[in-house]
């Protein structure tokens, strides 16, 4: 099965899973807003980043899984597992990441700050691109070589989120450090806006109702590093986003990102399916204690 066939199969699989599945969320893939996971809830997500590069580079698909848990009302943690499959190359595991988001202010404000810290243990084949920082990477070595170069990275974000009417507006400022190499600190940004197509409550039971659809747009990219700050050789993307709530607990998202610079991939297609288990922590505690 070649890469194109894998992409088509994955798309059909996700679509089939969604429409046979049993919480509506932001359609953004890169830009975080100020909303955290509810305390005790577990969110399970399966997503992919599909890259359609220029003629000299092979296409790729980078699937990843996410487990996100609401530890408290003000603290959310998530674990990511990622992989990569390249056209005319192999499929490999590229590493894992552990993130934490903390809300320092409990009540809602005009601008709501969130503090984000992530540790990653990955290799140079990683192409999940949950964020874009520094200069655009050169992708001209086979997976067998890239997987040998390991990187332990520390990343911090300042997330600012606001609500204006039906709109959610988010700004992310990113700094990242490769602890395994002397590459300086890398910088990036992400901006996103989103809103539901309809906000009026309806008792109608349907899947493609306007109230179940959120649309938005993301703009994100790298800002160089302490060794070379600025826009030179950096990647930037403009990406419309769409989120479709299928059931009370499941959501399908898609976002075709368009590269804006010569260092960007021409197209980054992102797809994801999310399933949320409410009160997972309470159910787990009852299971181990035997209480009902």
Q: What is the mean pLDDT of the chain?
A: 89
Nearest to 124 by CA among 91, 97, 154, 95: 95
Going along the chain from its start, the domains and CATH numbers come out as: 3-289 (2.40.160.40)
Q: How confident is the model over 218-255, as pLDDT tens digits?
A: 999 999 999 999 999 999 999 999 999 999 899 999 99
pTM over 0.85: yes
State what percent of residues in the chain have pLDDT above 90: 74
Q: What is the tens place of the pLDDT at every residue in 146-188?
A: 999 999 999 999 999 999 999 999 999 999 999 988 889 999 9
Report residue 19: phi and psi, to 5°.
-80, 0
Q: What backbone torsions phi and psi does residue 143 show, to the nearest 5 degrees?
A: -55, -35
């Amino acid at each position: 099965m070649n890469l194109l066939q894998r992409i088509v199969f994955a798309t059909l699989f996700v679509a089939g899973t969604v429409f046979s599945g049993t919480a509506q969320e932001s359609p953004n893939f890169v830009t975080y807003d100020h909303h955290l996971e509810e305390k005790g809830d577990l969110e399970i997500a399966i997503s992919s980043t599909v890259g359609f590069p220029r003629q000299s580079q092979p296409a790729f698909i980078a699937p990843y899984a996410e487990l996100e848990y609401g530890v408290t009302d003000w603290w959310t943690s998530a674990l990511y597992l990622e992989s990569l499959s390249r056209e005319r190359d192999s499929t490999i595991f590229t590493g894992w990441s552990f993130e934490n988001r903390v809300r320092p202010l409990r009540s809602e404000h005009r601008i709501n700050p969130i503090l984000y810290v992530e540790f990653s243990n990955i290799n140079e084949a990683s192409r999940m691109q949950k964020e874009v920082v520094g200069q655009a990477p050169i992708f001209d070595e086979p997976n067998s070589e890239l997987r040998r170069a390991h990187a332990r990275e520390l990343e911090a974000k300042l997330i600012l989120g606001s609500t204006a009417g039906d709109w959610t507006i988010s700004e992310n400022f990113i700094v990242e450090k490769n602890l395994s190499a002397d590459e300086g600190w890398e910088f990036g940004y992400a901006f996103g806006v989103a809103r539901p197509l309809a906000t009026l409550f309806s008792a109608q039971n349907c899947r493609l109702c306007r109230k179940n659809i959120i649309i938005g747009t993301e703009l994100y990219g790298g800002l160089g590093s302490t060794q070379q700050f600025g826009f030179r050789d950096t990647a930037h993307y403009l990406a419309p986003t769409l989120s479709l709530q299928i059931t009370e607990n499941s959501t399908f998202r898609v976002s075709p990102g368009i590269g804006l610079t010569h260092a960007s991939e021409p197209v980054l297609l992102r797809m994801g399916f999310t399933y949320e288990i409410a009160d997972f922590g309470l159910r787990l505690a009852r299971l181990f204690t035997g209480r009902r």
